[in-house]
Every structure is written in structure tokens, then in C-alpha cells.
Amino acid sequence: MAKVKTAFFCSSCGYESPKWLGKCPGCGSWNTMVEELLQPKSPPLAGVAKAARKPVQLGRDTVQDVPRIQLPGVELNRVLGGGLMPGAVTLIGGEPGIGKSTLMLQVALDSQRKVLYVSGEESEMQIQQRAKRIGIHNEQCYILAETLTQNILEVCEEMQPEVVIIDSVQTLHSRLIESSAGSVSQIRQCTAELIAIAKELDLPLFLVGHITKDGNIAGPKVLEHMVDTVLQFEGDRHFVYRMLRSVKNRFGSTHELGIFEMTPGGLREVHNPSEILIGQHDDGLSGTTVAATVEGARPLLIEVQALVSTAAFGTPQRSATGFDTRRLNMLLAVLEKRCGFKLAMKDVFVNIAGGLRVEDPALDLAIVAAVLSSNSNIEVPRKICFAAEVGLTGEVRTVSRLDQRIAEAGKLGFEQIIVSRHHKATLAKTNIQVVEVGRVDEVFRLLFG
């Protein structure tokens, strides 16, 4: 019997080594090398056309513009860069339970095209029940509960669907590889087989992939470079809002963002996120401010809440939901050291409304204002919003796309926006008063006298 060959792969970056190593030379992580069976002589990928191709001159009309396939709704099309390209392979990553299957089933039902939805996780029965909850009927939506790639490829060739959805890559397995489903080599092989068929049949393909706690798709990062587009579906499972971000896109920009709301009847698009994220509380409450942030290319006004109270135990607690705790600690240190606010013995809690996670430095000033407001128990007037970064010396720094932020705040009826003195915005005709500040203590005097 032929000797079975194995190799070691890093489960975090996919690095291959003939022997076991404690530390992966590829990504430097420890204890991530796992043994995988190697296929003795891997047969060519199913159905790949290997005919020699001729180079084409760039800019000549020989390369025609391919029309994009419009999916239902505007959010998903926007994130994809204006629609789905024929033959494009899109990976949708997200934590379990975030709503990936729901999103994909809605695409399948709503598009009124011939769609093949392959599920390795749920039975036909379960999917049918979910479809009933979503309440859309599509005669041309076919469900297939299958995990063997060779069978899926066969069905694709026979059925010629317009869109294929695979839920999820972790459940697939290929006959060509012996290791178990979900292992690095299985995921890599199955994806390669599916990509080959997608390119050959010009078939747009969606792959659903679970991400691990540290944010890697399928554990290994191996999938990200194989596919054309990587979308990340994120949000807090306990809140209703979900964000769909594009992390990589060969056919569009990666600055796009789609916002959805999870309802009992499936996902609903949110076209006016700012209006929902602000204005959910009464006047007269301290510790609440509004930040004019930009997510991707989209202005988003969000509410920031802070609670400052005397520490009940010896060590004060600092906790942030939707915001980096280290950054919060830095802002508190700046307030303590540069501006003389005594916060060292206080518990500080910060919360971004709606369970969203925002990584925009423009949140800084709104957070600082919310903390100071809660600390002094004086409310910040509802008609003021903030858009500036705070530096280590307590200086207020300018942020990108300020014009866009000011315009959005004006549109939503804010009367004042507090920004850095050093901005380069053009400030063309706005009905909102732009207040410029240089340092954090100026903001305190401005707001609380």
C-alpha cells in the first residue's frame, strides 16, 4: 500500500511545512500547526479549461463591459460595488447566529432568479420554515441539502442556476481529500473546486463562512485570497442592527457599508440609519452626546452614552461597548493629566447606541464630552454634535470627510457641530453652525461654562 503522506499546516495562516513546528514561520503564532493528509497526486481541478489564452491589449474594445446582476434591495448591491459580477465568488463571513443564512435566503427568495441554495447545516425542512417566516415566494429557488462538492458541481452543471449560494464552506467536503470537513485542506480544496466551476460557467457564487472569535474566516485566512470579494456581516447578536462591510472587493471599493435590521420577518434594510440611532431618549439627560462619524463612505450620526460614578471597590472599572477600551483609557488619561479632571477613582462606562462597533477616530470628542457631561451631571444640549479626534496632549485634531459629516448633521437638524480648529473643510452653505476648538478644556468651558 502506498504510504500516506501528510504535512503540517498553520490553522491561522495556512503555512505548509513538512514537519511539526511550535511557532509558525508564516504568521508567528504558536501551537497552530495541525497535521493534514496530503493527496498523493492531486488530480486537476474539476472542469478547469486549460486551453492557452492570448494576451489582450488593455483599453481595446475587445474586452467588453459585463453587465452586473442586480440583487434585490440597495444595500447588498452597494456593498458589492454596484451589483453582482457574473462568475464572481463572494465570501460572507460572520459570527454564528448573526444572520448570514437569513441574508442569503432572502437574496435567494427575493431575486426572482433561478437560485440554488446549498445548505450543509440545515435540512430542507428547516430552510422551508425559515422561508415561510421571511414570507417571500420564489418558484425558481431550489434548496439542496448536500455537503459533497462533487455532487454540488454535478447539480450546478445539470441545473444551470443563475446564482449559487453555499451555506457554509465549513461543512463541505471533497472526495479528493481525506481529512475531515472544516479542516484547512478540506476548505481550501472545496473552495478551489467551487471557484473553478463558478469561473467556467460564469456563475456568481456566494460562500458563507463562520468566523472565529478573533475574526478569522474559517480559522485559516486561506479563503480570503482565493475569492473575489470578502464581505463581513457584523453586529451584536443581542441588538437588531447588522452591518455588512466589504473587506476585499475586486470589482468595487472596500469603503461601502450596508445596514440591516433583524426583524421577526427577516432582515430589513435601513436607509436612514442616523435617524434611528439618535433620538431614542428624552431631553435633560446627562452623559449623552452625538458623534458625526463616517463608516466607509457613509456618514452616520450615532449616539454615545457615558456613565461616570464613584468606584464602589478599590480598583475603578472602565468598560466600553462598541468602542475600544484601550482608547477609552487613553482619553481618560488625557482628561486627567492634561485637563485636570479627577477621574482616577471613578468607574467609567461607555456605550455606543444600537450595538454597533465603530472605529472612527471622530468619536473621541463625543466620548470625552459624554464623560464630562456625566461627571458634572450637566446635559449637553440635544442640538450639538461632535466630529474630532483627541490627541495625547489634549489637542483636538481634525478628521477626514468633514464636509460630509457637517452636511449630514445639518440635514438631521443639528444646530451646532464642534470640530477641530485645524480642519480643511470648505464649509459651503450649511445651515449648521460650525464651532472650532483647539483643546479639550475649551470644549468643557464651551459646554458647561
Q: Which of residues 22, 264, 340, 449 is near ligand TYD by CB under 6 A?
A: 264
Is residue 270 within 8 Å of residue 287, measured between CB atoms?
no
CB of 168 to Mg ion, least distance (A): 6
CB of 408 to ligand TYD, least distance (A): 29
Neighbours of 52 (CB within 10 A): 4
Q: Which of residues 18, 28, 265, 413 is near ligand TYD by CB under 6 A?
A: 265
Question: Residue 385: what are its φ and ψ, rounded to 5°?
Answer: -130, 170
CB of 143 to ligand TYD, least distance (A): 15
94 binds ligand TYD, rule: CB under 6 A: yes
Q: Considering CB distances under 5 to 8 angstroms, the limit depending on partner class, which of Mg ion, ligand TYD, none binds residue 93?
A: none
In order, the DSSP letters of 320-332 are EESS-HHHHHHHH
Place of cell 439627560: 285
* CA-based nearest residue to 357, from 262, 267, 254, 232: 232
The two counts, helices (H) then strands (E), for the chain are 10, 21
**Torsion sign (Cα): 296, 299, 305, 311:** positive
Between 230 and 412, CB nearer to ligand TYD: 230
CB of 165 to Mg ion, least distance (A): 11
266 binds ligand TYD, rule: CB under 6 A: yes
Is residue 196 within 8 Å of residue 46, measured between CB atoms?
yes
**Torsion sign (Cα): 53, 58, 64, 70:** positive
CB of 286 to ligand TYD, least distance (A): 34
Q: Which residues from 95-134 bind ligand TYD, rule CB under 6 A? A: 96-102, 130, 133-134
Binding string, residues 227-266; x marks residues near Mg ion by CB under 5 A: ----------------------------------------
Binding string, residues 92-121; x marks residues near Mg ion by CB under 5 A: ---------x--------------------
Q: Which residue is nearest to ligand TYD (CB)?
A: 101
Measured distance CA(32)–CA(11) in Å, rounded: 5
Measured distance CA(63)–CA(120) in Å, rounded: 38
Residues that bind ligand TYD (CB under 6 A): 94, 96-102, 130, 133-134, 262, 264-266
Residues that bind Mg ion (CB under 5 A): 101
